[in-house]
Amino acid sequence: MDKNISFTLKVWRQRGPKEKGQFVSYPMKDIPTDTSFLEMLDILNEQLINKGEEPIVFDHDCREGICGMCSLYINGHAHGPATGATTCQLYMRRFNDGDVITVEPWRSAGFPIIRDLMVDRSAYDKIMQAGGYTSVNTGGVPDANSIPISKEKADLAMDAASCIGCGACVAACKNGSAMLFVSAKVSQLALLPQGQVEAARRAKAMIAKMDELGFGNCTNTRACEAECPKCVSISNIARLNREFICAKLKD
C-alpha cells in the first residue's frame, strides 16, 4: 500500500565552478512513496520557484534508465541505494519517514561542477573521440550479417555495450578512475571482428586521453562494478589491460 513520508533533503548548492558550495537542508512533507526521486526533486523545485527562490539544477533526460543523465550521489551511493538502477529508477519507497537524505554531484577532477548537482561530463565524449570507433566498411546489411561471430563473444560485446556512460564508476571510485567506462567501450569493439582495424591503437589512445583529462587509475576495489547501474563487469578492465599491453608490444 502506498503511503506518504516526510524527510529532510540535504542538497549541495553551488552557483558555479569557481564558487564555494555548501549543503542546504529542505524539509519535505507528505511525499508519496510511489514518487520517483527525480519527481520528488521536481516537487521541491516547484516549491522553491513558488517562493521566489532558485530551483536546484540537476541533469535528467529520458527518465527510463537509458541515457545516464540522472547522475546524483545519494547517501554515499552513485545513483542511490538501489542496485542495478539509475537515479530516475529510484523511488521514495526506498526511504523511511524521518530520514535525512544527502544529495551530491559526482566528485571527480574529470567531472567539474557546472552548478548545484550538474557536472561537466564531456570528458567521456573526448575519450570516445580518441578511439571509440571503427572504420571498417561492412557493406550492406546482408554482408554485415554474414560476418561470423560466436554467440559467446557477441554476448560479451553486448554486455560491455550496455554501459550508458553515466559516470557512476568514476563517482564511486576512490581514485576517480574511468577504467570501467573505458574498458567497456574498448571491449565492445575488441571482441568483434569489425573492431580490429583500430585495435592496435584504440586502447593506447583512449587510456592516454583518460589520463590527460585527470581521471585516476584502477586499484581493484570493485566499487565501480558495485555501483554501476548496468552491472558492467570489471573483467572488461582486464581485457583493456591486455589490449593495451599487446598494443605496446607491437610498438
Contacts of 77 (CB under 8 A, 6+ apart): 172, 227
Nine-digit cell string for 140: 550492406
Q: How far apart are the first and last CA of the chain?
A: 63
Residue 240 CA to residue 177 CA, distance in Å, equals 14
Specify the CATH number of the domain 4-104: 3.10.20.30
| CATH architecture type of domain 122-250 | Orthogonal Bundle (1.10)
Q: Where in the chain is the domain with CATH 3.10.20.30?
A: 4-104
CA distances (Å), origin 136, targets 43, 192, 237, 240, 244: 49, 11, 25, 21, 21
CB 247 within 8 A of CB 200: yes
Q: In which residue ranges of the chain is CATH 1.10.1060.10 found?
A: 122-250
Q: Which residues are CB-neighbours of 32 under 8 A, at least 6 positions away? A: 2, 3, 4, 92
- Whose cell is 551530491? That residue is 104
pLDDT truncated to tens, each residue of the chain (251 aa)?
569 999 999 999 999 999 999 999 999 999 999 999 999 999 999 999 999 999 999 999 999 999 999 999 999 999 999 999 999 999 999 999 999 999 999 999 999 999 999 999 999 999 999 998 888 666 666 665 677 889 999 999 999 999 999 999 999 999 999 999 999 999 999 999 888 888 889 999 999 999 999 999 999 999 999 999 999 999 999 999 999 999 999 88
Q: What angle do CA 194, 185, 226 make, to 5 degrees?
A: 140
Q: Is 56 helix (H, G, I), strand (E, B) or coil?
A: coil
Q: In this structure, how many other beta carbons lie within 10 angstroms of the beta carbon of residue 80?
A: 25
